[in-house]
Amino acid sequence: MDSEAIIGLFKLRFKSYILDVIKKNEKRIIITVNPDAIIDIADYLYKSAGFRFIIATAIHSRKGFEIHYHFSKDSFGLILNIHVVLDKENPQIESLSNMFNASNWIEREMHELFGINFMNHPNQEKLISEGNWAEGVYPMRKEFK
Amino acid sequence: MGFKNYCFKKSLWVFHFGGASCNNCDIEILDCLTPRHDLERFGILLVGSIRHADVLLVNGSINIHDKERLIEIYNQAPKPILVVAIGACGCTGGLFTESYTFAGPVDKIIPVNAYIPGCPPKPEAIIAGIVKLVKNS
Amino acid sequence: MSKKTLIPIGPYHPLQEEPELFKLYCDGEIVKDIKWETGYNHRGIEKLSESKTYEQVFFLVERICGICSTSHPFAFANAVEEIADIEITDRTKYIRTIIAELERIHSHLLWVGLAGHFLGYNTVFMWAWKYREPVLDLFEMISGNRNSYAMFKVGGVRRDIEEAKIPLIRKILSDARKKIDLLTGAVMDDPVIHARTKGVGILTKQDIIDYGAVGPTARASGLAIDVRKDDPYAAYPLINWKVITAHEGDVFAKAQVRLLEMYESISMIEQCLDGLKKEKEGDISVKVKEIPEGIGNGRAEAPRGEVFHFVQSDGSNSPVRHKIRAPSYVNIATFRKSCIGQTIADATISLAAVDPCYCCTERMAVVYDMNSGEKIMNANELINESVRMTNELKKTIKLQK
């Protein structure tokens, strides 16, 4: 099994949810998916395909709020970015933290910095903002003209 | 000799407050205690409570969360106390002045008696700075 | 009088009375719950990065953490060079690897000293930090600074390691090897250290996978992940070395992994110095015209684990988005598994075993009684409790002899 095969399996299984695939090389692949599928995708990657969750990156762009979930298949040195684009006005997505603990803190941080709501997060409390900035302020959001 | 000088003629007890720092300065301060520099042979001791200290070392760019703590620590300190700002972040805020959490630098929050710049300042520089400060006060 | 509340040979860090990092809730002697508070160190670095040029960002990311000061520029360089498809020269690869491995040695020695301090072995603290000094001298000779070396740039390194410096580097490394032998012998064979660290703060392989933990914390529980082997970069595929693992997942296993990694690092540096001989002196950078639009995922193996940088570029001089993940971010969360159920005295060493970046342990833990909510121990007292347990064990083991 190599990274080509793993991606092939993934594409077959989630065909209807995949919006775009960008393959930089054997070890760096970005797949844009429908946000509704995130729980099933993360479940498959973590439980069946043996990927490790590295971290998630939120981006505020003209398209809206984007998140890259970075998964690593250590035996191949492969980093798979699962990319979603969320709504501009009301960005929200299901939390992965009921499945594993690795995403618990980063989802809280993305909530504080960008204002993205992670639905059903076990404890969406403050992580770093206490005493540093006020409620309702999202320091990483940008102004777009 | 004045009362202040009398106090400082005996061994100096130093309290360290680390703000939002990368800890390079903290490690270099701790390094002053290790065998190569060995500040303790001069009787300079790092203490665990501000109430016993003669000198307050502050490093790190102070963020909003730390600002009140720093003021509280300064108020609890027995006067006279000498305040030393260590490192580029302590002296001027360093690279972090434009950050959305920046609330310093140290001399905007509490009065500072000496500045030891560097990123981080070498233990020799820290020792030289403290000795110079004590001689001049 | 006041000296009695202090650990005489200089406390490891100033312990604040108020804001705590870890709040331990206890029922009697046993830790039942932990709350983690933070925000003290938040400096908004990701946002600052967006207003700096790529060259300036190297200086910024170096100062995320003083101890892993090279790993962040390393991962960032990997990310940016990935976006622009830049091929670095072999000499660059060797120099980058030498700096990274020297940093691993100094960081592990630092940790050994701190762990010794938490257990009450202050001489271990003094020895370990004394043996660190020659490594810091090497850094000063190579880069000009003991910490924050500013060696990296896009497409290369900023300073060369000239032929004339190499004999001294080899000499200091071989001295370091002898000193590390002494330290390893003293630490690994001591029955009291065995008693304090074996079976303490255990993390199983499943815990590691659940939290996504990395570095020696993961390798001590049998999970052989190491970015240098899994996703090779710089000179790691060009030299011979092995990934060090252990299986018990306790504090002793974590210490063992770190001590043995130091020997591997010394061997790696020596091989890189041999490699440098074959490369042309001065061939340390390639011309970089611009960073095109794109995305880069860069990672490096810091002393604490995998450092990950995500960089998004739009063709301009500054990153559009720069995400930084330090290894301690995922490793510290494992305290829920390793500390709950332990005694208070064991909690300190379990927390320290994960080797959180100093930035995080600076303000240590405070103990609350679960039933009354009363604060029963502050950070100073917590360390004293750990030391007291060591002293008791010393007496017991002496009596058994």
Cα of C281 to nearest chain B Cα, Å: 29
Residue B31 lies in a domain: yes
pTM, rounded to two decimals: 0.91
What subunits make at least 3 CB pairs under 8 angstroms with B?
A, C
Whether residues C295 and A81 touch (CB distance < 8 A) is answered with yes
Q: Which of C219, C184, C167 is nearest to C105 (CA)?
A: C184
Q: In chain B, which residue's Cα lies nearest the Cα of C129?
A: B34
- C18 interfaces chain B, CB cutoff of 8 Å: yes
Contacts with B, C 67-96, CB within 8 Å: 67, 69
pLDDT above 70 for B7: no
Q: Which of C361, C362, C341 is nearest to C351 (CA)?
A: C361
Cα dihedral sign for C173, C177, C178, C184? Answer: positive
H helix runs in B10-122, sequence order: 24-31, 64-76, 87-92, 106-109
Residues in chain C: 401
Asked if C180 contacts C131 with a C-beta cutoff of 8 angstroms, the reply is yes
Is A130 near chain B, with CB under 8 Å?
yes
Distances (CA, A) of A99 to A44, A53, A96, A104, C209: 11, 11, 6, 10, 12
Task: Say how many C-beta atoms besides its own lie within 10 A of residue C289's C-beta.
Answer: 6
Q: Do C66 and B27 touch (CB under 8 A)?
A: yes
Q: What percent of chain A is modeled with pLDDT above 90?
A: 63
* B62 contacts B70 by C-beta, under 8 angstroms: yes
CB contact under 8 A, C63 and B94: yes
Residues of B in contact with A132 (CB under 8 A): 63-65, 101
* Cβ pair A131:B100 closer than 8 A: no
Tokens representing residue B130 in the block: 């403290």
How far is Cα of residue C215 from the mean position of the Cα atoms in its chain?
9
Residue of A53, A83, A101, A129 to mutate when probing chain C, most C C-beta within 10 A = A101
Cα angle C362, C368, C374 (rounded to 5 degrees) comes to: 130
DSSP code per residue over A65-128: EEEEEEEEETTTTEEEEEEEEE-SSS-EEE-STTT-GGGHHHHHHHHHHH--EEET-TT---SS
Contacts of B76 (CB under 8 A, 6+ apart): B50, B51
What average pLDDT values come out for chain C (401 residues) when binned by 10 residues? 23 36 78 75 85 93 86 95 95 96 93 85 87 92 91 94 93 93 86 89 92 93 94 95 94 93 95 93 90 95 94 94 89 85 83 66 56 69 80 81 61
Is B92 among the domain residues? yes
Residues in CB range of A26: below 8 A, 6 or more apart? A2, A3, A4, A76, A78
Chain C residues within 8 A of B29 when measuring between CB atoms: none
Strands C375-377 and C365-369: antiparallel
- The average pLDDT across B15-28 equals 85
CB atoms near residue B43 (< 10 Å): 10
Q: Which residues contact C235 (CB under 8 A, 6 or more apart)?
A: C90, C93, C94, C96, C97, C272, C275
Summarised one tens digit per residue, pLDDT across range B49-108 is 888 888 999 988 888 878 888 898 899 999 889 999 999 999 998 888 988 888 879 999
**Which amino acid would we find at residue C222?**
G
Match 């004999």 to its residue by tokens: C167
CB B31 within 8 A of CB C129: yes
Cβ atoms of residues C269 and C241 within 8 Å: no
CATH number, domain with residue B113: 3.40.50.12280
Those residues whose C-beta lies under 8 Å from the C-beta of residue B26, and which sit 6 or more positions away, are B16, B18, B59, C13, C66, C358, C362
Say whether B101 and A130 touch across the interface (CB within 8 A): no
- Establish if B101 touches chain A: CB-CB under 8 angstroms: yes
The phi, psi pair for C71, rounded to 5°, reads -65, -35
Spatial distance between the Cα atoms of A48 and A3, rounded to a whole number of angstroms: 15
B64 in A contact zone (CB under 8 Å): yes
Q: Report chain C residues whose CB lies below 8 A from the CB of B18.
A: 13-14, 362
Q: Of A24, A27, A102, which is closest to C212 when you measure between CB atoms?
A: A102
Residues B12, B130: Cα–Cα separation, whole Å: 10
Q: Does B63 touch chain A (CB under 8 A)?
A: yes
Number of domains within chain B: 1
Euclidean distance between CA atoms C367 and C389, whole angstroms = 17
Distance CA(C63)–CA(B100), nearest Å, equals 17
Cis ω before B105 (30° cut-off from 0): yes
Indicate whether A134 belongs to any domain.
no
Of B33 and C132, the one with more pLDDT: C132
Is B44 part of any domain? yes
Q: What is the ipTM of this complex?
A: 0.94
Q: Going edge to edge, which strands form the sheet with C365-369?
A: C30-36, C22-27, C365-369, C375-377
Tell me if A37 is assigned to some domain: yes
Chain B residues closer than 8 Å to A133 by CB: 64, 100-101
- Residues of C whose CB is below 8 A from A55: 308, 310, 323, 325, 329-330
How would residue B21 be classed by pLDDT, with cut points 50, 70 and 90? confident
Structural domain includes residue A108: no
How far is the first Cα of chain B from the last one, in angstroms, to the nearest whole number? 11
Reported residue count of chain B is 137
For B75, the domain range is: 11-136
- Secondary structure (3-state) at C32: strand
pLDDT at residue number C163: 92
Closest CA–CA distance from residue A133 to any residue of chain B (Å)? 7
- In CATH, what number is assigned to the domain containing residue A18? 3.30.460.80
**Residue-wise over C311-323: b if at least 16 C-beta within 10 A, else e?**
bbbeeeebbbbbb
Report the residue of chain C nearest A26, measured CA to CA.
C231
Q: Which of C212, C320, C325 is facing A52, going by the closest CB pair? A: C212
A-contacting residues in C 210-249 (Cβ below 8 Å): 210-212, 225, 230-232
Q: How many A×C Cβ pairs under 8 Å? A: 82
Is residue B120 within 8 A of residue B25, CB to CB? The reply is: yes
Fill in the amino acid letter for C2: S
Which of B63, B68, B100 has its CB closest to that of A139? Answer: B100
CA distance B132 to chain C (A): 22
Residue A112 domain flag: no
Question: Which of C3, C41, C61, C328 is the mutation pick for testing B, counting most B CBs within 10 A?
Answer: C41
Low-confidence ranges of chain A (pLDDT < 50): none
- The β-bridge relationship of strands C152-153 and C365-369 is unpaired
Over the Cα atoms of chain B, what is R_g? 14
Q: Which residues constitute the domain of residue A46?
A: 3-93
**Size of chain A, expressed as the number of residues it contains:** 145
- The number of distinct structural domains making up chain A is 1
CB contact under 8 A, C40 and B20: yes
> Domain extents for chain C?
2-40+340-400, 45-330
Residue C327's nearest CA partner among C109, C149, C74 is C74
For residue B41, give how far its alpha carbon lies from the nearest alpha carbon of chain C (Å). Answer: 11
Judge residue A89's burial from the number of C-beta atoms within 10 Å of its C-beta, 0-12 exposed, 13-18 middle, 19 or more buried: exposed
Q: State which amino acid sits at residue A20.
A: D
Question: Which residues from chain B sit within 8 angstroms of residue A130, using beta carbons?
Answer: 65
CB atoms within 10 A of CB A141: 13
Residue B5 within a domain:
no
Is the CB of C10 less than 8 angstroms away from the CB of B26? no
CB pairs < 8 Å spanning B and C:
129
In CATH, the architecture of C45-330 is: Orthogonal Bundle (1.10)
Which helix (H) or strand (E) segment holds residue B82: the answer is strand B82-86
The set of chains that have 3 or more CB pairs under 8 A with C is A, B
> What integer pLDDT is reported at residue C3 of this predicted model?
24
Antiparallel, parallel or unpaired: β C365-369 and C22-27? parallel
C330 vs C340: CA distance, rounded Å: 17
Contact yes or no for A92/A86 (Cβ under 8 A) = yes
Quick one: tokens of C249?
A: 């997942």
Chain B contact present for A139, CB below 8 A: yes
Closest by CA to C12, choosing from C293, C354, C352, C376, is C352
Residues of B with CB under 8 A from a CB of C: 15-18, 20-28, 30-31, 33-36, 40, 45-49, 52, 61, 63, 65-66, 69, 72-73, 94-96, 98-102, 119-120, 122
Test the B interface: residue of A126, A128, A129, A132 with most B CBs within 10 Å? A132
Determine, for residues A77 and C230 on separate chains, whether the beta-carbon distance falls below 8 Å. Answer: yes
